[in-house]
Amino acid sequence: MNESSMPTAPLSSDLPMVPDLSVVVPVKNEAENILPLVEEIHAALEGFIDFEVVYVDDGSDDDTPTRLRDAQARFPRLRVVRHAASCGQSQAVATGVRLARGAWIATLDGDGQNDPADIPAMIRRRDQEAAASATDAALVMIAGHRQKRQDNGLRRMSSKVANAVRSAMLKDSTPDSGCGLKLFARQTFLDFPRFDHMHRFLPALMIRAGGKVVSVRVNHRPRERGVSKYGLWNRLWVGIVDLFGVAWLQSRARRPVIERHD
C-alpha cells in the first residue's frame, strides 16, 4: 500500500476543520503504550489549543492496530494511518506530517518516554521567539533537550558521543537532536529534502533552510511498557553514513536573497 492510498480515520464533526496543531506519533509494536499516551496528549492539550492526534502505525505485528481502534472509539481527535510493512521511523513521521491538517506539528516518540505535558511550553517558546526575532515563525523549530536521561549507561554514552560528533560536523547548535519532542511548521518540513533516517537531522535541515533552532529542556521518563526497537548498532552505522550525507546537503544549499519588485 502506498501513502496516497492509506486510509485515515473519519473525522468527527465536532472537531475544528483546520486544527492549530497536529501531534504526530510514529509507533511500531507499542500496543501497551497506546492508550496511556493518547490519554496524556489529550490531558496536556485540551483547553490549551485546537489539536488533532495522528498516529502512524509502522507495520506493527502485535496488538497495536486493535489498541488504536479502541482509542479512536474514545478520542475522536485521534486519526490513524498504517504502513502495510515497516518503513522506518523517518518515513512514519513523514507520512504523519503529510496527512496532518494542522499548520504546526509536534512530534513525540510512541514509547511513553517523551512527556506530552512539555508541548504547551514549547508552543509558548515558539511564540516568544517569533515575537522577539525577525525570523519568520515558520522557520523556527523548538527542539526538546532531555533532562536526566532515563536510559542505561551505554545508550546515554552513545547518545552523548553521537551528539558531539554531529554538532561538530553539522554546526546545528542542538545538544540533543535525537529527542523525539519537536515543534515545527508543517510546510517547512515538507520542503526539506527527504531521506531515510532524516528525523535525526531535523535541526540541521532547518538551519540549512535558513531557519533557527531553539532547544528547551524537557522531561524524560523511563520506559514502563514494551521494549526499544532501536539499539546501539542499528543506529550507529546508518548515523555515520547519514551524517556525511547531510553535511553534503549543507554544502550544496543555496538561499537566494529576494529583492522586492513592485
Q: What is the model's pLDDT at position 238?
A: 56
Reduced to 3 states (helix: H, G, I; strand: E, B; else coil), residue 54 is strand
Q: What is the model's pLDDT at position 1?
A: 39
Mean pLDDT lowest for which of 68-72, 99-103, 168-172? Answer: 168-172
Q: What is the model's pLDDT at position 175?
A: 83
Q: At 223, is the pLDDT very low, low, confident or very high (cuts 50, 70, 90)?
A: confident
Q: Mean pLDDT for the chain?
A: 83
Counted residue by residue, the chain has a size of: 262
Kindly state the DSSP code that residue 12 receives in the 8-state scheme: P
Q: What is the model's pLDDT at position 91?
A: 94
Kindly state the DSSP code that residue 220 receives in the 8-state scheme: B
Task: Say if residue 230's pLDDT is above 70.
Answer: no
pLDDT in tens, 120-171: 999 999 999 988 877 789 999 999 998 876 554 555 555 665 665 656 666 6
Between CA 88 and CA 194 the distance in angstroms is 13
One-letter-per-residue 3-state SS of 103-159: CEEEECCCCCCECHHHHHHHHHHHHHHHHHCCCCHHHEEEEEEECCCCCCHHHHHHH
Which of the two residues, 62 and 224, has the higher pLDDT score?
62
Is the alpha carbon torsion for 56, 142, 178, 32 positive or negative?
negative
In this structure, are residues 96 and 7 in contact, taking their beta carbons and an 8 Å threshold? no
Task: Say if residue 233's pLDDT is above 70.
Answer: no
pLDDT in tens, 26-60: 999 999 999 999 999 999 999 999 999 999 999 99
Q: Which among 65-69, 88-92, 208-212, 232-236 has the top mean pLDDT? A: 65-69
Q: What is the model's pLDDT at position 148?
A: 76
In this structure, are residues 105 and 24 in contact, taking their beta carbons and an 8 Å threshold? yes
